[in-house]
Amino acid sequence: MGELKLMKGNEALAEAAIRAGADAYFGYPITPQSEVIEYLMAEKPYERTGMVVLQAESEIAAINMIYGAAGSGKKVMTSSSSPGISLKQEGLSYIAGAELPCVYANVVRGGPGLGTIQPSQADYFQSTKGGGHGDYRQIVLAPASVQEMADFVKLGFELAFEYRMPVLILADGVIGQMMEKVELFDQMPRLTDDEIAEKYPWATTGKKKGTQRRIITSLALQAHEMEAHNMMLQKKYADVTEKEVRFEAISCEDAEYIIVAYGSSARIAQKTVELARKQGIKAGLFRLITLFPFPSKALQNLCKQGVKGFLAVEMSAGQMVEDVMLSVRGCAKVDHFGRFGGTIHTPEEVLNALKSKIIGG
Amino acid sequence: MTEEIIIAGFGGQGVLSMGKILAYSGIMQEQEVSWMPSYGPEMRGGTANVTVIISDERISSPILTIFDTAIILNQQSMDKFEKSVKPGGTLIYDPNGITHHPERKDIRIFQIEGAQLAAEMGNTKIFNMIVLGAYMNVKPIVKLENVIKGLKKSLPERYHKLIPLNEDAIRLGMKNVAEIAN
């Protein structure tokens, strides 16, 4: 067993970046995720592993540093919260277009606009439907515990490099600010420049005599070239959808009613399931771990198993519920419940909604 | 076993760190723990509260509305959380600064003169450890040895010389907590 620590979600994310062998973190502070850069600055990973930590002059600068460093095959990460993530969207679209790997975290707060600093899940559309321009996708991992905040950094880098695309760790203020027990994975080595040059034939590591130039760009002036590039991206996204779906089904085997949730809402809904079961209601929790790719087939299978209704619970006015509806395709009742704008629903409120909107409705 | 606790008081009373010590102690005795603070504007200068859960099983919601135990350290928190104790649950409070004492008949109520005892010890910083001691006597869930182990693990080494003082404060709190006839 690894080292056990009591850590905030944000701290676990930061420590995991060091341990995953990241080469650099570029960021800009914003509540409720400022602990990420605070932790990294205090921990001085440049002394531990040689990892660079840099506070950029803005979010836009940070994401473009990511773009550049990722292009050279380095393992790089950034993080922010909602308004800062909006600023990063242009860079993310370029990174997706140029097929570069990176991991970034959004510790979501209430919006729109500058919003509030309390937790929210209202960035689902932005995260899963492409927050920047163009036909691109990113893998979205939704941690529901401090442990997963750490584990998904490691997993995120693996996926980012396997598919050469951005991986988003979509957390929220609750997961970022809460402390839990976390078992940290062992320190992984950073790759040397030679190892990068050998391992990543796409990385711009400096042209040597007799080798081909490597060009990284998201630009193709000819429409047919851009279409071919897009088709190749779509093939990759289909491959990701086929292979990388992750979810957790809790008490779903005999469930008549299922709550679909992710992140901190899933934790709250798990308590709702406990309360419901005590009252004799056969409730279950379907926890999304990947938001893209979305576990549509698994939800369809639950429908076939005879589930009568699904309640999508999220701290938003109703975003993820649309993907549940698309997955279930009318074979069972689907409705939404959630507090939003920085307010968190309670397990009791979720239970009341399950009864009024799904069971009795 | 699952124990769901709210600790609430003023910022600066050591509410959050008391919660952290409790959570660390839970880890030391191989239990699952969660620590969820109130954060944001309410924390800046005003009240502070933290929900701590210690359990033998995987913890579901870190955010709760009703609690097994409420540890209440100012009047605003009393107004807010007296009603949030589960029937049959426990309320522990410091009467210092309390104008409206708890009135519920369906819970057990304990007093700890934490502020006064800390002043008598000549160190107001160990107030939260006295209150922690009171809690540990009323609800013997975390063992003293595990609290000390937790302190050793969570405090930087330069503070380890303060651990005996903290232990004394915990013992003082354990000794001086008193149940209010209800």
| Per-residue pLDDT tens over the stretch A86-142 | 999 999 999 999 999 999 999 999 999 999 999 999 999 999 998 999 999 999 999
Q: Among A1, A149, A178, A351, which would you mutate to test the B interface (most chain B Cβ atoms within 10 Å of its Cβ)?
A: A178
- State the pLDDT at residue A361: 65
Residues A267 and A172 in one domain: no
Task: With respect to residue A295, please indicate whether it lies within any of the assigned structural domains.
Answer: yes
Comparing CB atoms, the residue among A174, A181, A348 nearest residue B62 is A174
Which chain A residues are closer than 8 Å to B33 by Cβ?
A: 6, 179-181
CATH number, domain with residue A319: 3.40.50.920
Q: What is the mean pLDDT of residues B39-48?
A: 64
Cβ–Cβ of B23/A274 closer than 8 Å? no
Task: With respect to residue A209, please indicate whether it lies within any of the assigned structural domains.
Answer: no
Residues A163 and A291 in one domain: no
Burial A260-283 (b: 16+ CB within 10 A, else e): bbbbbbbbbbbbbbbbbeeeebbb
Q: Looking at chain B, which runs of residues are DSSP E strands? A: 2-10, 32-37, 47-55, 67-72, 85-93, 108-111, 178-179
Q: How many domains does chain A have?
A: 2
| Per-residue pLDDT tens over the stretch A265-287 | 999 999 999 999 999 999 999 99
Which chain B residues are closer than 8 Å to A118 by Cβ?
A: 39-40
The DSSP call for residue A341 is: T
Determine contact, residues A123/A85, Cβ cutoff 8 Å.
Answer: yes
| Per-residue pLDDT tens over the stretch A18-33 | 999 999 999 999 999 9
Name beta bridge partners: A80: A106
Q: What is the mean pLDDT of residues B158-172?
A: 95
Comparing CB atoms, the residue among A116, A179, A270 nearest residue B61 is A270
Which chain A residues are closer than 8 Å to B62 by Cβ?
A: 174, 178, 180, 264, 267
Q: What is the mean pLDDT of residues B104-119?
A: 97
Task: With respect to residue A201, please indicate whether it lies within any of the assigned structural domains.
Answer: no
> What are the structural domain ranges in chain B?
2-179
- State the pLDDT at residue A1: 59
Cβ–Cβ of B60/A274 closer than 8 Å? yes
Which chain A residues are closer than 8 Å to B54 by Cβ?
A: none
What's the mean per-residue pLDDT of chain A?
A: 96
A319 pLDDT above the threshold of 60:
yes
Task: With respect to residue A235, please indicate whether it lies within any of the assigned structural domains.
Answer: no
Binding-site residues on chain B for chain A (CB distance < 8 A): 20, 23-24, 27, 32-37, 39-41, 59-65, 154
- State the pLDDT at residue B38: 84
Comparing CB atoms, the residue among A178, A267, A346 nearest residue B65 is A346
Q: In the structure encoding, which two tokens stand for residue A54, read together?
A: 């840099």
B142 pLDDT above the threshold of 90:
yes
The DSSP call for residue A119 is: B
B45 pLDDT above the threshold of 60:
no
Residues A30 and A94 in one domain: yes
Which chain B residues are closer than 8 Å to A178 by Cβ?
A: 34-37, 62
Task: With respect to residue A258, please indicate whether it lies within any of the assigned structural domains.
Answer: yes
| Per-residue pLDDT tens over the stretch A162-185 | 999 999 999 999 999 999 999 999
Comparing CB atoms, the residue among A4, A118, A264 nearest residue B27 is A4
Express as a percent the part of chain A with pLDDT over 90. Answer: 96
B33 to chain A, closest Cα gap in Å = 6
Burial A290-319 (b: 16+ CB within 10 A, else e): bbbbbbbebbeebbeeebebbbbbbbbeeb
- State the pLDDT at residue B40: 57
Residues A81 and A188 in one domain: yes
B166 pLDDT above the threshold of 70:
yes
The DSSP call for residue B83 is: G
Task: With respect to residue A317, please indicate whether it lies within any of the assigned structural domains.
Answer: yes
Cβ–Cβ of A180/B33 closer than 8 Å? yes
What ipTM, to 2 d.p.? Answer: 0.91
Cβ–Cβ of A178/B24 closer than 8 Å? no
Domain that holds residue A151: 3-193
| Per-residue pLDDT tens over the stretch A224-265 | 999 999 999 999 999 999 999 999 999 999 999 999 999 999
Cβ–Cβ of A178/B62 closer than 8 Å? yes
| Stretch (H or E) spanning A90 | helix A89-97
- State the pLDDT at residue B106: 97
Task: With respect to residue A236, please indicate whether it lies within any of the assigned structural domains.
Answer: no
Question: Residue B8 CB: number of other CB atoms within 10 A?
Answer: 24
Cα A242 to Cα A290: distance, rounded to the nearest angstrom: 12
Which chain A residues are closer than 8 Å to B41 by Cβ?
A: 117
Residues A47 and A182 in one domain: yes
3-state secondary structure of B23: helix
Task: With respect to residue A49, please indicate whether it lies within any of the assigned structural domains.
Answer: yes
Q: For domain B2-179, give the CATH number.
A: 3.40.920.10
Cβ–Cβ of B27/A267 closer than 8 Å? no
Residues A172 and A265 in one domain: no
CATH number, domain with residue A189: 3.40.50.970
Determine contact, residues A119/A264, Cβ cutoff 8 Å.
Answer: yes
- State the pLDDT at residue B154: 78
Comparing CB atoms, the residue among A31, A117, A270 nearest residue B60 is A270
Cβ–Cβ of A264/B64 closer than 8 Å? no
Q: What is the mean pLDDT of residues A330-345?
A: 94
Residues A129 and A267 in one domain: no
Determine contact, residues A287/A194, Cβ cutoff 8 Å.
Answer: no
Comparing CB atoms, the residue among B24, B41, B62 nearest residue A6 is B24
Determine contact, residues A265/A314, Cβ cutoff 8 Å.
Answer: yes
A3 pLDDT above the threshold of 80:
no
B56 pLDDT above the threshold of 70:
yes
